Every structure is written in C-alpha cells, then in structure tokens.
Amino acid sequence: MTPELVISIGKDTIQMALSLSVPILLCGMAVGLTVSIFQAVTQIQEVTLTFVPKIIAVFLALLLFASWMIEMLVQYTTHIFVNIPNYIR
C-alpha cells in the first residue's frame, strides 16, 4: 500500500463525509437563519426558540435524505471492499 493510495482513500473518505453532511447542515443553517431573522424582527430574544425548530428540521432532513445517504455509503463501502485485493499489492 503506497502513501499515495492512503492519501487517496483518506481524501475520498473526507469527501464522502462532507457530501453526506452538507444537506443536513444546510437545512439546519437555513432554519437557524430564518429563526434569527424572526427574532430580530419581533425582538423576541428567547434562547431556546432556536433549538426546537433546528432539531425538528434536522430530523426531517435526515428522514428525507436517509435513503440517498445510505445508498452513497453502501456504494463507497462496496468500492472499498471490492478493491481490497488491489490495496494489498
């Protein structure tokens, strides 16, 4: 196993982790921004007001993107397992 191969596998793993987390993070960020704008307009400064909508939005995003995320993880894992003989050389 060459250093280039290890770096390539690490790079692919980081890209996979980022691509799987981006939809969830963007959803949470959008809801957080919307709630913050609502708080600024209405001058309601309740700290817990931001947490509940974000948790619900992230949960719904996970439900929405779960099948896509599982499919991506299975493809990546299959790719890694299929190429194990090539990594040993």
Predicted TM-score (pTM) of this structure: 0.78
Which residue type sits at 62?
L
Helices (H), 2-50: 3-42
φ, ψ dihedrals at 2, nearest 5°: -85, 160
What pLDDT score was predicted for residue 88?
Answer: 82
pLDDT digit string (tens) for 44-82?
888 788 889 999 999 999 999 999 999 999 999 999 999
Give the C-alpha separation, 66 to 20, whole Å. Answer: 10
**Contact (CB, 8 A) for 82 and 26:** no
Give the C-alpha separation, 9 to 12, whole Å. Answer: 5
Which pLDDT band, with edges at 50, 70 and 90, does 26 fall under? very high
Domain definitions of the chain by residue range: 3-83
